[in-house]
Amino acid sequence: MTDARREIGVGIVGGGYMGKAHAVAMSSVAAVFDTSLRPRLEMVAAGSSASAERYRDAFGFARYTGDWRVLVTDPKVEAIVIASPQETHRAIAEAAFALGKPVMCEKPLGKDVADSRAMVAAAQASGLPNMVGFNYIRTPASQFARKLIADGVIGDITWFRGEHTEDFFADPDELATWRCQGKSNGTMGDLAPHMINAALALIGPIQSLSAKIETVHRTRPGQDGPVTVDNDDQAQLMCRFDSGAMGQMHFSRVAMGRKMGYAYDIHGTKGAIRFDQEDQNAIWLYKLSDTPAERGFRKILTGPEHPDYAAFCQGPGHGTGYQDQIIIEAKDFLVAIETGKSIWPTFQDGLAVNQVVAAAFASDQARAWVDVASV
Amino acid sequence: MTDARREIGVGIVGGGYMGKAHAVAMSSVAAVFDTSLRPRLEMVAAGSSASAERYRDAFGFARYTGDWRVLVTDPKVEAIVIASPQETHRAIAEAAFALGKPVMCEKPLGKDVADSRAMVAAAQASGLPNMVGFNYIRTPASQFARKLIADGVIGDITWFRGEHTEDFFADPDELATWRCQGKSNGTMGDLAPHMINAALALIGPIQSLSAKIETVHRTRPGQDGPVTVDNDDQAQLMCRFDSGAMGQMHFSRVAMGRKMGYAYDIHGTKGAIRFDQEDQNAIWLYKLSDTPAERGFRKILTGPEHPDYAAFCQGPGHGTGYQDQIIIEAKDFLVAIETGKSIWPTFQDGLAVNQVVAAAFASDQARAWVDVASV
Amino acid sequence: MTDARREIGVGIVGGGYMGKAHAVAMSSVAAVFDTSLRPRLEMVAAGSSASAERYRDAFGFARYTGDWRVLVTDPKVEAIVIASPQETHRAIAEAAFALGKPVMCEKPLGKDVADSRAMVAAAQASGLPNMVGFNYIRTPASQFARKLIADGVIGDITWFRGEHTEDFFADPDELATWRCQGKSNGTMGDLAPHMINAALALIGPIQSLSAKIETVHRTRPGQDGPVTVDNDDQAQLMCRFDSGAMGQMHFSRVAMGRKMGYAYDIHGTKGAIRFDQEDQNAIWLYKLSDTPAERGFRKILTGPEHPDYAAFCQGPGHGTGYQDQIIIEAKDFLVAIETGKSIWPTFQDGLAVNQVVAAAFASDQARAWVDVASV
Amino acid sequence: MTDARREIGVGIVGGGYMGKAHAVAMSSVAAVFDTSLRPRLEMVAAGSSASAERYRDAFGFARYTGDWRVLVTDPKVEAIVIASPQETHRAIAEAAFALGKPVMCEKPLGKDVADSRAMVAAAQASGLPNMVGFNYIRTPASQFARKLIADGVIGDITWFRGEHTEDFFADPDELATWRCQGKSNGTMGDLAPHMINAALALIGPIQSLSAKIETVHRTRPGQDGPVTVDNDDQAQLMCRFDSGAMGQMHFSRVAMGRKMGYAYDIHGTKGAIRFDQEDQNAIWLYKLSDTPAERGFRKILTGPEHPDYAAFCQGPGHGTGYQDQIIIEAKDFLVAIETGKSIWPTFQDGLAVNQVVAAAFASDQARAWVDVASV
Ligand SMILES: NC(=O)C1=CN([C@@H]2O[C@H](COP(=O)(O)OP(=O)(O)OC[C@H]3O[C@@H](n4cnc5c(N)ncnc54)[C@H](O)[C@@H]3O)[C@@H](O)[C@H]2O)C=CC1
Ligand SMILES: NC(=O)C1=CN([C@@H]2O[C@H](COP(=O)(O)OP(=O)(O)OC[C@H]3O[C@@H](n4cnc5c(N)ncnc54)[C@H](O)[C@@H]3O)[C@@H](O)[C@H]2O)C=CC1
Ligand SMILES: NC(=O)C1=CN([C@@H]2O[C@H](COP(=O)(O)OP(=O)(O)OC[C@H]3O[C@@H](n4cnc5c(N)ncnc54)[C@H](O)[C@@H]3O)[C@@H](O)[C@H]2O)C=CC1
Ligand SMILES: NC(=O)C1=CN([C@@H]2O[C@H](COP(=O)(O)OP(=O)(O)OC[C@H]3O[C@@H](n4cnc5c(N)ncnc54)[C@H](O)[C@@H]3O)[C@@H](O)[C@H]2O)C=CC1
């Protein structure tokens, strides 16, 4: 290995859905992006020692622990990825920053605004790289959408519609899981943050909003009889961005037929953009500047011309997938560590998302418009 | 002509965009549907005698008049189609009913709730067939969607999203027209009624709503300098249906790239339906009852299996278009006259739409949820 | 009616699928296009007097006859539309031309090359307007495709793929009909002509080809036991156009799932075009001249900017349908009569299609490439 | 690491486009699929020692060599991946088998039939696991298509249309590269094998075919003036499968607008399947058994219900990409090594593809149908 490249010991807290995704990403990111920092899967932590051992073996970590504190304090662990439940994010992040270790934390940043505020404070006090795992905004397509807007290609934005819709609880007979309890595990707490982050990234800060949040199926069958669902199944909001643009959003885990309905339509004074994560390798662009008879939405297939695509494949239209988003995230985290400069979205951005979520709950309660800044 | 069939003299008020469409429809409806009543284009009325004469010649009417009262009172005019501006609808309809003549009126029914209420009263007092021109809901696809829902194919509805979006004013440099003035010519007054009618037809009455309505471009270039726009460019609302379903809508004439964005997504406990008028011959259906690995939205092309299609073409997927919607409308109007029974959507349904529009304006003013019944 | 406009008596031979379509078209074409010639449905002829009477009543003709000769010779019948089986086309056309009457004939022109040759000779000898009913090429979308190619927008054509696929006989249990007998009623005789005509219209003459034609289901259930199918279910060919472009085609009535699969992909040195009749109001255009990162197929919705659309509707994306294609055809026929100049596709073009069909059968027999000119 | 899991030293020949893809895949496959064999990137070989050293550093190999023989004979290299040009495949594979090492070889197997035959012989003599890198057929979608057909879901196949189309040479001004020379680097040699393999996998052996192959742009600009292109730009063929089904194929590197046009349409007596790699996470299924009014192509998004998806993500519709195909390939190769049983497609399957390519060239020469077995 040449001098420019050096190993870095990575510790991942959690080995479930996202813990695995980050482990896989850390295994391949160096080869994909030829990063200077070359991750070594040093240690994995989980809720129990037994499960952590299983993760070590399955994902190829050097060591494991049932106590995340062991991981965070281990000297060979130089960077931390938090992929455990939202309730645990704050304590882990605070401990890591205190020890001078950079942190990438899964979304939502904290389980609520208070946690997120504390995490931002800890991050800022430490001066260390920090990042939140909003992976969907990192597809080549959505990065390109950001760029198109930033470059003024579609003019001034007049309208934004976003949705994050899935259907894993659409069938009323679907068995209850832990996702049926706890505000931060409901649709607003768990799914909405992705699309709210997209809205903020693409259009800018949200000034005010009016929201409606509800539980469609108040009980679900469980192993031992009916279970009460105490969090929300679907929600929507109307909003006003600082820029003056109007926004509309929808979030759901009961949107029958939708699997990964992370989708947005953006209209501007010179063009428009449409995107749906269910076809993540295409972005649709409409340009007023085209000859009138030839105007239409262009289905642009992502390729080497688009952000972060070329490292995966030289051929356009060959496509990236879910796992590749996490690899891009890992690359950005490594670059942030290498350069000492956080890369968007930072903890600050994660907090901004939590604030919009909190404002939505406040609005739903009050049945009124609410200023996000007031929350 | 056999005994069952007989001629009926039709008078059309207006010879513009919709007046022409109705004239064409009345020319061909009998041949398409083999209706018992065979329309004869008896007379056309317009804002001026000169333009009315032009319409008579172009569309093939027997006679013309610059005064709609002449048309309404003419003894050879047995049925009236109102295709003139919203401000004129009420007086014409009232006069027609008073003379015992059935009326099909373009949307929106009246220019406001007061007019619509009066029109419903006149229609009911007369006991005559009455109908409102919500043509889009009459495509074979949207009629089929209604049937699927009514038959319980997608279960209990949990979510409805509808939009009616076009972009004829999306370019800020587009010249001002008469559409820039008058509440009933704005987006809420002019475009929203179509989709509100669809929502009511598909899901049922709306109980309450919260809306936001705005003018994006407050001035436009005109022939002699800038013109002030006094009505709305775009709007949105959140609503609750009587059935308990949640709804979300969007209306716009500045949705760059959208040409006929009359579209809806409907999620239920057993399935889902998606439709976009820009591809009006396809309706998308998702069924939970399909084998898990084979679940997906089916793109169903309309054909003879679907409502009102077979009369146009024996082949499925051959497609109907905008004009065919008006022909279906004409057929229903003739059948209503023949049987003496109004066919949905009646004036009563048109009033219901006006009430939702009024509630939306009230909500926008109040920045609050509003009960539709309270308006 | 002003002096420029005058009535013309139209006689239609056949009142089935296409006879009805032409009757409807002749009823509304004048109102749609404000044609100078205003058709009057003078007489309909059918296989029997009884069915002809039914058609008169249903479609609104003045008179009827069970003998097409009566129709052709009637002095009030000034123009003839042939919508009867392919075997009858020639005799009717010859009689009409002999009497100085212009003819629009359904596809295929004659039942075989010999008939078509005779029909072209008769048409040319008469000097009268003549036209073949290739309706699909008349959609605003396909007319626009022709224009794009003619204008050089996609450069030199290197590849053409076309298909005309339906599935009315895809189910092996579908009952046999008259379509199962007779070469000119098989897939090559009946469906292929539409797409071959498109190929000739879009790319130009075909020099040589190699084809494969087959009957997939050799027997079908009938009313009284199994019926032998003596014509073809599906076919394909490779071809070389005079221009040097390579072509590939596919024709089928057993293409399960395809309803109106009249579709083409055209690649050129500067761009590409894709079209599928199942979404007839969209045409897809790719331009090499777009900025690399913004290249993609544009989904252009037809509208007033495109050929023959505006007469149907002022709004783009509102859509035309199958019946509208026949109305466009009727308009062109009337204009041809008025001006005395045939409008494409003429009988000559119909013959060219028959020749390609004949060449395909010859190639299939010989299992070899065949020059179209040699047939 | 538990006993069941053990390391295996992997050597990759080539570090270009595919060498990198395989290196990345070998880095992450164990974590993704929890394979028993855990690859260690032992050595990379390249055309020169310098480039090999670069690859070692970039992709994280332990060692490198400028001579593939060193790699093949190294005792710590236990399994070989061949990702060098087609001319080199045979010698490397033969050497590997001779030393008892399993081989995964990039497509096409050999540069011609003779090479492929020799490679199959060497593989069979050795009894060692062998595999060819037809990655596209390994997407969850295409694997599922195979299963649907095998399970009889769409009945007896009557028609297959396949294409592999890209546009990297569609612009005539695109600079010449090494791909412009050598039969096995042309469209038939390089791109067609993927789709031919798909055809064989989905429908079974091809009995006979008729093909047309051509160079569209005979010269291209080069660094020092015009360069002569000696291989083919596009090709097509008609074929008959052993099963009796008819087939049609198209291959191109000049298909303007197509980026990864690996697409197929398959019609059967009970249903149909459509797929396009440009939207690789969706497979379209039509079933005759659906209620008539509800028939349509279902857009099925791949998910955990489909082959090899769940290891990448628990959520359906979240999507896999190009790199994931190579990871699936790597998993199969490791399983083959572990179990000692080759997994499809083997060298034998690769040879079958080469034979179809050879038959196509023979047919093009002869302008005639050719039996594949005769080549
Ligand atoms: N970016 C994305 O697309 C997604 C993000 N997430 C986020 O990722 C995080 C993890 O979610 P999943 O992976 O879905 O959950 P999971 O339930 O699949 O896995 C959670 C993991 O955390 C471990 N864990 C639990 N308590 C712990 C503790 N006190 N100390 C150490 N480890 C502990 C568990 O042992 C398990 O390995 C959450 O914050 C969630 O919101 C989840 C799914 C998708
Ligand atoms: N269903 C649909 O899709 C559409 C419905 N409409 C509705 O149709 C109606 C007419 O709209 P357009 O045709 O677009 O307008 P337009 O401006 O194209 O035509 C209006 C016609 O009304 C006539 N007119 C005006 N004042 C009159 C009077 N006092 N007496 C008699 N005739 C008079 C004019 O001469 C003209 O012929 C409106 O209510 C509008 O909302 C309009 C467009 C689409
Ligand atoms: N352009 C298009 O899209 C289509 C064109 N066609 C063509 O239209 C023509 C008619 O086909 P369809 O309408 O489908 O057939 P059809 O069977 O529905 O109707 C045929 C009509 O011809 C009449 N007829 C039969 N023999 C006659 C005779 N000797 N004299 C007078 N009338 C006679 C019958 O009474 C019947 O009214 C054919 O040439 C066919 O190829 C058919 C379908 C679609
Ligand atoms: N499955 C797929 O989708 C694709 C497969 N391929 C196949 O992969 C193989 C490699 O193609 P690419 O990666 O595109 O080529 P490339 O030109 O990007 O890389 C070729 C590599 O082979 C090395 N090499 C050349 N001669 C060598 C020798 N004598 N000994 C050792 N190494 C040598 C070069 O140094 C270079 O690293 C070919 O067989 C090609 O057909 C290529 C592209 C896509």
Residue A1, SS3? Answer: coil
**D153: which chain B residues are within 8 Å (Cβ-Cβ)?**
294
pLDDT of B4 reads 81
* Residue D176 DSSP code: P
pLDDT at A4: 81
Closest approach atom of ligand 2 to CA B15: 37
CA distance B230 to B222: 14
Specify the pLDDT at position C296: 98
Output the pLDDT for position C1: 43
Q: Which residue of C has its CA nearest to B281?
A: C279
Is residue A159 assigned to a domain? Answer: yes
Question: Per-residue pLDDT for A163 more than 80?
Answer: yes
pLDDT digits (tens, 9 = 90+) for B26-63: 999 999 999 999 999 999 999 999 999 999 999 999 99
Question: Please, which pLDDT band fits residue A1 given cuts at 50, 70 and 90?
Answer: very low
- Element holding D268 (H helix, E strand): strand D261-268
**Which residue has 């089929």 as its token pair?**
B144
Question: What's the number of CA atoms in the CB half-sphere (13 Å) around residue C281?
Answer: 30
Q: Give the pLDDT confidence score for residue A3 in this predicted structure.
A: 62
Q: What is the pLDDT of residues D293-319, one digit of tens each?
A: 999 999 999 999 999 999 999 999 999
Q: How many whole angstroms separate alpha carbon D358 and alpha carbon A12?
A: 52
| pLDDT of C372 strictly over 90 | yes
Statement to judge: residues B26 and B89 lie in one domain: yes
From the CB of D14, is ligand 4 less than 6 Å away?
A: yes
- Does the distance separating the beta carbons of A293 and C306 come in below 8 Å? yes
In b/e form, how buried is each residue of C144-165, taking b as 16+ CB within 10 angstroms? Answer: bbbebbeeebbbebbbbbbbbb
Q: Is residue B148 part of a domain?
A: yes
Once rounded to an integer, what is the mean pLDDT over residues B287-302? Answer: 98
Residue ranges of chain B whose CB lies within 8 Å of a chain A CB: 154, 158-159, 161, 167, 170-172, 210, 212, 214, 216, 234, 236-238, 240, 246, 248, 250, 252, 254-258, 267-272, 274, 286, 288, 295, 297, 367-369
CATH for B107: 3.40.50.720
SS3 category, D318: coil
Residue B93 Cα to ligand 2 midpoint, Å, equals 14
User: Distance from the CA of A135 to the center of ligand 1, in angstroms?
Assistant: 15
Residue among C292, C296, C300 minimizing CB distance to A294:
C300
Q: Which residues contact D374 (CB under 8 A, 6 or more apart)?
A: D359, D362
Q: Is D18 close to ligand 4, i.e. is its CB under 6 Å away?
A: yes
* Nearest CA distance, D265 vs chain B (angstrom): 16
Q: SS in 3 state form for A22-82? A: HHHHHHHHHHHHCCCEEEEEEEEECCCHHHHHHHHHHHCCCEEECCHHHHHHCCCCCEEEE
Residue B372 counted as domain residue: no
Assess whether the C-beta atom of D85 lies below 6 angstroms from ligand 4: yes
Determine the Cα–Cα distance for residues D4 and D13; give it in Å rounded to an integer.
28
pLDDT classification of D3: cutoffs 50, 70, 90: low
Preceding amide of D304 cis, omega within 30:
no
Name every residue whose Cβ is closer than 8 Å to that of residue A234 and which is 6 or more positions away in sequence: A187, A213, A214, A216, A250, A251, A252, A253, A254, A255, B158, B159, B246
Atom 25 of ligand 2: nearest residue by CA position: B47
Quickly tell me which residue has 């939140």 as its tokens.
A132
H/E stretch holding A218: none
- What are the tens digits of pLDDT across the range B312-354? 999 999 999 999 999 999 999 999 999 999 999 999 999 999 9
Domain that holds residue B49: 6-135
Q: Exposed (0-12), middle (13-18) or buried (19+): which is D103, by Cβ within 10 Å?
A: buried
Identity of the residue numbered A47: G
Q: Average pLDDT, stretch A30-42?
A: 98
Distance from Cα B19 to the centre of ligand 2, integer Å: 7
User: How sure is the predictor about C3, in pLDDT bands with cuts at 50, 70 and 90?
Assistant: low
Same domain, B335 and B267: yes
Q: What is the ipTM of this complex?
A: 0.97
Q: Identify the chains in contact with B, defined as 3+ C-beta pairs within 8 A.
A: A, C, D
User: Which residues sit opposite C41 in a β-bridge?
Assistant: C10
C-alpha distance from residue A151 to each of A27, A274, A282 (Å): 35, 17, 19
Residue B372 pLDDT: 98
Distance in angstroms (rounded) separating the CA atoms of residues B155 and B274: 15
Contact C296 A292 (CB under 8 A): no
Sign of CA dihedral C181, C251, D202, D80: positive
Chain C residues within an 8 Å CB radius of D286: 256-257
- D17 Cβ closer than 6 Å to some ligand 4 atom: yes
Return the H-helix or E-strand segment holding C256: none
pLDDT digit string, tens, across residues B239-264: 999 999 999 999 999 999 999 999 99
Q: Are C251 and C264 in contact (CB under 8 A)?
A: no
What are the pLDDT digits (tens) for A237-280? 999 999 999 999 999 999 999 999 999 999 999 999 999 999 99
Residue numbers in C near B60 (CB within 8 A): 30-31, 38
Q: Are B172 and B218 part of one and the same domain?
A: yes
Does C361 lie in the same domain as C306?
yes
Domain final residue, candidates A94, A118, A135: A135
Q: Is residue B323 part of a domain?
A: yes
As a whole number of angstroms, the longest Cα–Cα distance in chain B is 65
Q: Which of A278, A87, A85 is nearest to A167 (CA)?
A: A278
**What count of other Cβ atoms lies within 10 Å of the Cβ of residue A336?**
22
CATH code, domain with B284: 3.30.360.10
Indicate if B114 and B176 belong to the same structural domain: no
pLDDT digits (tens, 9 = 90+) for D114-154: 999 999 999 999 999 999 999 999 999 999 999 999 999 99
The mean pLDDT of chain B is 97
Which chain A residue is nearest to residue C290, measuring alpha carbons? A290
In a domain, C372, yes or no: no
Residues in chain C: 375
Query: Which of D290, D292, D300 lies closest to B295 in CB terms?
Result: D300
Residue ranges of the alpha helices (H) in chain B?
17-33, 49-59, 68-73, 86-98, 113-126, 140-150, 192-203, 322-339, 347-366
Tokens 């509100």 belong to residue: B196
Count of CB pairs separated by less than 8 Å, B with D: 47
Q: Are residues C84 and C116 in the same domain?
A: yes
What is the band of A99 on the pLDDT scale with cuts at 50, 70, 90?
very high
Residue among C109, C77, C110 at smallest CA distance from C96: C77
Choosing from C136, C170, C195, the residue where a domain stops is C136
Q: Which of C85, C107, C136 is the last residue of a domain?
A: C136
Atom 16 of ligand 1 has which residue's CA nearest to it? A16
Q: Is residue D296 part of a domain?
A: yes
Q: DSSP letters of B91-157?
A: HHHHHHHHTT--EEEESSSSSSHHHHHHHHHHHHHHT--EEEE-GGGGSHHHHHHHHHHHTTTT-SE
Looking at the fold, whether A218 and A304 belong to one and the same domain comes out as yes
Same domain, A183 and A322: yes
Report chain A's mean pLDDT, rounded to a whole number.
97
Residue D251, beta-bridge partner list:
D164, D235
C60·B316 Cβ contact <8 A? no
What digits encode the pLDDT tens for the residues A44-94? Answer: 999 999 999 999 999 999 999 999 999 999 999 999 999 999 999 999 999
Long-range contacts from C172-175, C-beta under 8 angstroms, 24+ separation:
C172/C217, C172/C220, C172/D269, C173/C221, C174/C220, C175/C220, C175/C221, C175/C222, C175/C223
Report how far residue D96's alpha carbon sits from residue D78's, in angstroms, rounded to the nearest whole number. 9
pLDDT at B237: 98
Interfacial residues of D (vs B; Cβ cutoff 8 Å): 144, 153, 282, 284-285, 287, 290, 292-301, 305-306
- What Å distances lie between residue C112 and A281, C90, C214, CA to CA? 49, 10, 19
- In a domain, residue C252? The reply is yes
DSSP string, D145-160: HHHHHHTTTT-SEEEE
C330 and C224 in a common domain: yes
Which pLDDT score is estimated for B1? 43
Task: Determine whether the interchain pair B299/D301 forms a contact, defined as Cβ–Cβ distance below 8 Å.
Answer: no
Give CA separation, B354 vs B66, B111, B200, C44, in Å.
Answer: 29, 8, 12, 47
Residues of D with Cβ-Cβ distance to A278 under 8 angstroms: 281-282, 301, 317, 319
- The percentage of residues in chain C with a pLDDT greater than 70, rounded to a whole number, is 99
Do A114 and A149 reside in the same domain of the chain?
Answer: no
- Amino acid symbol at D143: Q
Q: Check whether B282 has a pLDDT greater than 80.
A: yes
C96 forms beta bridges with none
pLDDT tens for C192-236 read 999 999 999 999 999 999 999 999 999 999 989 999 999 999 999
**What CA–CA distances, in Å, run from C276 to B296, C145, D29?**
22, 12, 41
Which among B371, B84, B373, B360 has a CA at the least distance from the CA of B232?
Answer: B360
CA of B321 to the centre of ligand 2 (A): 20
Q: How many domains does chain A fold into?
A: 2
List the single best residue of D148, D156, D158 to mutate versus C (max C Cβ within 10 A): D158
What pLDDT is recorded for position D127?
A: 97
Using beta carbons and an 8 Å cutoff, which residues of D are at the interface with C?
A: 154, 158-159, 161, 167, 170-172, 210, 212, 214, 216, 234, 236-238, 240, 246, 248, 250, 252, 254-258, 267-272, 274, 286, 288, 295, 297, 367-369
Same domain for C94 and C153? no
Phi and psi, residue A253, nearest 5°: -115, 10
How far is the C-alpha of D31 from the C-alpha of A25, rounded, in Å? 9
pLDDT of residue C4: 81
Q: What is the DSSP letter of D96?
A: H
Give me C10's structure tokens: 């139209």
Does any domain span residue B94? yes
Q: C-alpha distances in angstroms, D236 versus A130, C156, C213, C244?
A: 54, 19, 17, 15
Do A251 and A143 lie in one domain? The reply is yes
Q: Whose CA is nearest to atom 21 of ligand 4?
A: D14
* CB-CB under 8 Å, A299 with C305: no
pLDDT tens figures, D156-204: 999 999 999 999 999 999 999 999 999 999 999 999 999 999 999 999 9
Distance from CA of A252 to the nearest CA of D (A): 15
Contact B312, C321 (CB under 8 A): yes
Q: For residue B45, give the ligand nearest its CA.
A: 2
Q: Separation of D19 CA from ligand 1 center, angstroms? A: 34
pLDDT in tens, C264-289: 999 999 999 999 999 999 999 999 99
Nearest to A229 by CA among A267, A278, A182: A182
Whole-number pLDDT of residue D4: 81
